[in-house]
Structures are given as C-alpha cells and as structure tokens.
Amino acid sequence: MVVGSEVVAEKADAARSNLMADGLADYVDLRTGDARSTLADPGGPVDLLLLDGGPGLYLDILQLLIPCLRVGSVVVADNIEDSEDEPHPYARWVRDPANGFVSNSITLKGGTEYSVWVGKRDDD
C-alpha cells in the first residue's frame, strides 16, 4: 500500500485520475494537504519513505514518521546536495548515528540521501 500527500488539490486530483486510469487506485491512499499533518497517522508501519516535496520539510516529516519505521526501513530523500564544505542539514541529521540511521549520499543529480533505520529511539 502506498500512502502519499500532495498539498495542491489540483495536483492531487490529477494524480487520482491517473491512478484510476491505470487501475492502481486501490493500492494508493493519496491525501490532500500538508504532509506534516496528513501523514501524522499513516495507518501502519512504514517500510519505505520517499521524501520529494521540499528539503525544508524533510526533517519534520521524517521525525513525525520515525515511530512508524521498522528496523531496516528505508528513507530516500531527493534534492539533498551537500555544499562543498559541509553536508546538507538534513543529511547531517540522518548521518548522526545518535539519531538511529545509517545513511549516505547516492550519486544522483541534485543529491539523494539513502538512509536505513537501525532502530534506536529516544525512549529506548
């Protein structure tokens, strides 16, 4: 099951039409609104989280969903390009082992961060 969120209603409607046309609507729960609230309850564990809305939102959304990750769950964040002298702030956070991920950049255009949840939580 795929759960997604799109803040622009027209885009969400267009995506729903495409999913219907392709016979995929039963597999997708597409929510209209700001992902920081619409994804507060994804409805179950999250195996793969794709962040592709805007890098400024990624940490908020990731932290919202950490309680739903399983050990081994993967988080892919697009457009996370390190500057020459320091990592992107999102990358710095997920690469800090204290935050419970093993993480590295993969060499795709614009920078893509691939992170695996290894299960450490603040309340562990």
Ligand X SMILES: C[S@@+](CC[C@H](N)C(=O)[O-])C[C@H]1O[C@@H](n2cnc3c(N)ncnc32)[C@H](O)[C@@H]1O
E-strand ranges in 1-124 read: 2-6, 28-32, 46-51, 69-78, 101-106, 112-117
Shorter beta-carbon distance to ligand X: residue 55 or 100:
55
Smallest separation (angstroms) from ligand X to the CB of 20: 17
| Smallest separation, CB 8 to ligand X (Å) | 4
Cβ-contact 78, 51 below 8 angstroms? yes
Q: Is 71 exposed, middle or buried (0-12, 13-18, 19+ CB in 10 A)?
A: exposed
State which residue, 114 or 118, has the beta carbon closest to ligand X: 114
Q: Does 11 bind ligand X (CB under 6 A)?
A: yes
Interatomic CA distance for residues 45 and 70, integer angstroms: 7
Q: Does position 7 bind ligand X by CB under 6 A? A: yes
Closest to ligand X by CB, 23 vs 110, is 110
Applying the rule CB under 6 A, the residues between 43 and 62 that interact with ligand X are: 52-54, 57
Give the count of beta carbons closer than 10 Å to the beta carbon of residue 112.
18
Q: Which is nearer to ligand X, 62 or 100 (CB)?
A: 62
Positions in the binding site for ligand X (CB under 6 A): 5-8, 11, 34-36, 52-54, 57
